[in-house]
């Protein structure tokens, strides 16, 4: 089986890798690039813990082949903080207690940061719909919604 040479821009940095066809994007990020902020949860495209932003859209990186991402711009949770300053959604999750165990948090942050790029003033319903592919088993979502509202206000 031939290997494929791919290049991606991840959190602003150009990276190259030689990958097997079947390598999943989440494993490229975690194991090849060593960035373990992106979590593997269910591994069946249900839970959203592995969410990364691929060319502007949040996607489940356990269900994308690394080779499909060739040429793409990827943002992971490590890329949210800029110059030592937390992204407003990170600040929101901290301020509003938007996590307990924290396992789903990287995925939640990626989905909600992408939501706020598209929609500066989402309603509670829109926030809940946006995160409907990200499962949290601790919080009951109430504080996650508050965290996103906090971030939205901060970004306006």
Partner 1 sequence: MIPAAFDYHRPASLDEAVGLLTRHGDQAKVLSGGMSLLPMMKLRLASFAHLVDIGRVPGLEYIKEDGGFLKIGAMTRQAALERSDLVKGKCPILADAVPLIADPLVRNRGTVGGNVANGDPGNDQPAIMLALGATFVARGPKGERSIAANQFYKGLYSTALAPNEILTEVRIPVPPARSGGAYAKLKRKTGDFAVAAAAVQLTLNTSGAVERCGIALTNAGLTPVETADAAKFLVGRKPDDKAIAEAAKMAAAKSSPSADRRGSVEYKKEMARVLTARALKKALERAGGK
Contact indicator for 37, 79 with CB cutoff of 8 Å: no
Length of the chain measured in residues: 156
Q: E strands within 11-127?
A: 13-20, 51-54, 57-60, 73-75
Report the distance separating Cα 145 and Cα 127, nearest Å: 7
The least distance separating partner 1 from the CB of residue 40, rounded to whole angstroms, comes to 10
Contact indicator for 116, 152 with CB cutoff of 8 Å: yes
Judged by CB under 8 A, which of 15, 43, 100, 138 binds partner 1?
43
Report the distance separating Cα 19 and Cα 122, nearest Å: 39
Q: How far is the CA of 43 from the CAs of 63, 65, 152, in angstroms? A: 8, 13, 30
The least distance separating partner 1 from the CB of residue 58, rounded to whole angstroms, comes to 5
Nearer to partner 1, 51 or 139 (CB): 51
Binding mask 127-156 toward partner 1 (x if CB under 8 A, else -) reads --xx-xxx----------------------
Binding mask 2-41 toward partner 1 (x if CB under 8 A, else -) reads x-x---------------xxxxx--x--------------
Nearer to partner 1, 10 or 130 (CB): 130
Q: Which residues contact 2 (CB under 8 A, 6 or more apart)?
A: 21
Binding mask 88-127 toward partner 1 (x if CB under 8 A, else -) reads -----------------------x----------------
The least distance separating partner 1 from the CB of residue 47, rounded to whole angstroms, comes to 9
The least distance separating partner 1 from the CB of residue 79, rounded to whole angstroms, comes to 18
């Amino acid at each position: 089986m031939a290997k494929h040479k791919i290049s991606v821009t991840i959190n602003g940095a150009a990276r190259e890798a030689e990958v097997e066809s079947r390598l999943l994007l989440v494993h490229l990020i975690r194991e090849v690039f060593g960035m373990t902020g992106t979590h593997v949860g269910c591994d069946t495209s249900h839970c959203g813990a592995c969410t990364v932003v691929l060319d502007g859209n949040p996607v489940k990186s356990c269900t994308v082949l690394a080779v499909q991402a060739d040429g793409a711009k990827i943002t992971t949770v490590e890329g949210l903080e800029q110059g030592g300053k937390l992204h407003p959604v990170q600040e929101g999750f901290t301020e509003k207690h938007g996590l307990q165990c924290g396992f789903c948090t990287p995925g939640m942050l990626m989905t909600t940061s992408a939501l706020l790029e598209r929609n500066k003033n989402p309603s509670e319903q829109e926030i809940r719909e946006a995160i409907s592919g990200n499962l949290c088993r601790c919080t009951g979502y109430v504080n996650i919604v508050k965290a996103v509202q906090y971030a939205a206000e901060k970004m306006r």
